[in-house]
Every structure is written in C-alpha cells, then in structure tokens.
Structure 1
Amino acid sequence: MHVTVCRGCCCGTVKKHPDYDHEEQLRRLEALAVGSGGRVRVRTADCLDACENSNVVVVKPAGGKPVWLGFVLHDAVMDDLEAWLTSGGPLPANLDLNRIVPPAQQA
C-alpha cells in the first residue's frame, strides 16, 4: 500500500489545527512503513488540493483504486488507519466515514 500524507497548505499545519500533533501522525505512519517490510510506503505531498478536508491521507492499495481520507485529526482515526494498513483487505467501515471525494472528481 502506498500512503500519501498531505503536508502543505492546510494539512499538517499547527496554524489550522493547533491541537493536533502533525509530526507524531507522520512518525506513526513512517514507523508502520519501516515495520511492514516494504509492504507499506509513506510519502508526503506539498498539497493535495483538498484543503477543506484536512488532514488528508490517500491510500493506494496494491491493485486497487486510491482511497482519499479526510479529517484525519484524531488518534482513533489513526488507530483505524494503522490497523487497515497492517492487515490489508477492504476499507474498514470506521474509515469509510472519513472517505472524501478526490478534487479531480468533484463537480
């Protein structure tokens, strides 16, 4: 699985979300990637153009379509994301609540 974490314009900034530890979020994902033996890869993007849904994380499962997740601003969401990345499989129902429409597909 490839994970892209938005860290530009609004996502990942203390200015927009002062009560969330953005660096810890990235550390958690990078630690998971290191422990995955290469099955999970994490990268950052400057801006994914979905600022109204920050923090945005895009997961591209192997052989699947990218899943765009917004409002990834709570430890419970990160716990669900880590569990999904670890186990693989279909998108869990809990994370489906954070699914957003990619900017390119918005009307």
Structure 2
Amino acid sequence: MTVCRGCCCGTVKKHPDYDHAEQLRRLEEVAARSGGRVTVRTADCLDACENSNLIVVKPRGQKPVWLGFVLHDEVMADLERWLAQGGPLPEVLELNRVSPPAQA
C-alpha cells in the first residue's frame, strides 16, 4: 500500500487533529504481521489532495483501491481488518473509495 504523506495528506497543517505518525505506525504493524503479504511505502503526493488523507492499496492481481478521508480510528480499524484478512473490499470501506486522479 502507498500512504500519501506530502503536500497535504498526512500533515498537521491540513489535519491538525489527527495523529499521522500513529496511523503510519499502525499500518506498518499490520504489514509486519502479514508475513510479507502487505508492504507500506509513503509517497510525497498522489495528486488527489481533495481526498486527503489518502491511502492506495494494491491487492494482488487486482486494480489499486484508492481510499480517501482516512482520518478516523473507525476507518483505520476497518482498513486494518481488511489488510489482515484479505478478500474483497468490505462494504464499509466502499464509503471511503475515491477515484484516482485523471492521467495527464
């Protein structure tokens, strides 16, 4: 998965009430328990700033799933469960699904 941490996603400037470091720590913990099935990387900007806090998950053999507005513990818990269990995107996370930016 790729976690946007650049111009506005993951910054206290845009989202001062969210613990961005804790979010990244939680995702890295899920990755560590996955036995290599889940990896975490950060990107400076994914060009979808209107949807920040943005996380892109690329399940094996599937198109990337772009999740926006990942700014609440409940959303993180749903994301963590999905990453740990695998399978199709849970309906509850469909609420956070956003479209990737248009290609230039």
TM-score tier after normalising by the smaller chain length: over 0.9
1:11 is matched with which residue? 9
Q: Which runs of 5+ in 2 are unaligned?
A: none
TM-superposed CA distance for 1:104, in Å, is 2.1
TM value normalised by structure 1: 0.94
SS for the counterpart of 2:16 is coil
CA RMSD of aligned residues (A): 0.7
* Higher strand proportion (structure 1 or 2): 1
2:22 is aligned, of 21, 24, 28, to: 24
Could you tell me which amino acid in structure 1 is paired with residue 64 of structure 2? P
- Percent of aligned pairs with the same amino acid: 80
TM value normalised by structure 2: 0.97
Q: Which runs of 5+ in 1 are unaligned?
A: none
Runs of 4+ in 1 over 4 A off after TM superposition: none
TM-superposed CA distance for 1:89, in Å, is 0.3
